[in-house]
Amino acid sequence: MTKTDLIIIGCGPGGYRAAEYAVKHGLTVTIIENKHAGGTCLNFGCIPTKCYAHDAEIGDCSDFRRIFERKKHVVEQLRNGIETLMMQPGITFVQQGKGFFKDAKTIKVGEDEFTADNIIIATGAHAKLPPIDGISSKCVVTSTELLEFEHIPENLCIIGAGVIGMEFASAFQRFGSNVTLVEFMNECLPTMDSDIAKRLRKCLEKRNIKFYLQSSVKAITDDSVVFERKGKEATIIANTVLVATGRVPNVKELNLKNAGVEYSGKGIPVNEDMQTNIPHIYAIGDVNGRQMLAHAAIFQGFRAVNHILGKNDSIRFDIMPAAVFTAPEAACVGLTAEQCAVQGIDCKEYKGYYRTNGKALASEVSEGMVKIITDNRNDKIIGCHIYGAHAANMVQEIAALMNCEITLSHFADIIHTHPTLGEILQDIAINR
């Protein structure tokens, strides 16, 4: 039996960054991964999709084989880097092995046993397949399978217009696919500001991406998707169907009952320190179902390790930036005006437009809008929502200001480089 201070199950962003952080602070770590270092994010999610987003954006999509191989190379390069990182002194890296609980302090991997006083579960999530007639059809794929395609689907139907569906739609349309999205809700990206989502959808519609909103898929065949909208049935011709209807936490094979850890189909409940109902067992990232974002998993891991070390931090999980890497991008942080209304917060909404910005015009990226939300009681910035070029980078500035609880008036006095897209943010503050 191998004994270390900490066991981490899962070597995705949350797991490997927590391991690195723990070792730097004097802990010994065993980290267990049943597939590839880097987890879903690196191998089948964030990184390969951003490779595709980049190639789609620069416009040379004639050689998909080159695009596919570049994606593979980037993933392999980063994976090798993580594997090397996990070989440093203080870390025992167990690869290609499924870890499960023997008891509350012991993890088995095959015939091997590992024990520690503290355990972090970072096993991520997998694609959810809804109960649709024909869901097992040969044309149905998840994002994982679609990323392994070495060809461009002629007709791609995407079920679900959330982040995953929108990113694949944007990229594969540029690659040459005829793309259709079917979404049950009344707008795409239902968790984002509704105005931003609508404007982004209209941008994609101008690129001949078809949207069927408020639509329910009834059946899938080998070459079509049957859906119902407003009581009427219709059929979409599709040789490939991407199911992008959410993700399910990976909990079933952990034998959590052996450790007494409570869980449900929504994941493993945790407190603000990422502790489960068993205090020395923590759960971070997608498996706890809180915020299914790679950077959320990373900082949840830092919080868990800090708690183990008895160390305080100032991480704000209520200020969580997020982005959709379509063309153009969309990004957000904090509250929307709609959420403020529900919570009874008296807010004010300010808008700015890319078309008035010198850098945007010079760079031919004039399509875009910014919203900044403030608390009317004290002028503090409590939200920001953007669609347009480099939205993900721009929203990060507002996230930093929100962490410092800066007012819009104070923001107006912060000098920005000229010409930059960031001046759109500043101009909102100056001209409010």
Q: How far apart are CA 332 and CA 370, in angstroms?
A: 10
418 assigned to active site: yes
For Cα atoms 60, 64, 68, give the angle at the middle one, nearest 5 degrees. Answer: 115
Q: Which of 264, 75, 68, 230 is nearest to 152 (CA)?
A: 68
Cα gap 402→383, rounded to integer Å:
8
Which entry of 25, 73, 151, 418 is annotated as an active-site residue?
418
Strands 210-212 and 106-109: unpaired
* Token duo for residue 143: 């994002």
DSSP string, 210-251: EEE-SEEEEEE-SSEEEEEETTEEEEEE-SEEEE-S-EEE--
**Bridge pairing between strands 247-249 and 112-121:** unpaired
Q: Which contiguous run of DSSP H or E holds residue 284?
A: none
Tally of CA atoms within 13 A in the half-sphere of 420 that contains its CB: 13
Tell me how far apart the terminal alpha carbons of the chain are, to the nearest angstrom. Answer: 64
Nearest to 330 by CA among 275, 273, 368: 368
Dist CA 115 CA 311 (whole Å): 23
Give the C-alpha separation, 241 to 156, whole Å. Answer: 6
Q: Which residues are known to be catalytic?
A: 418
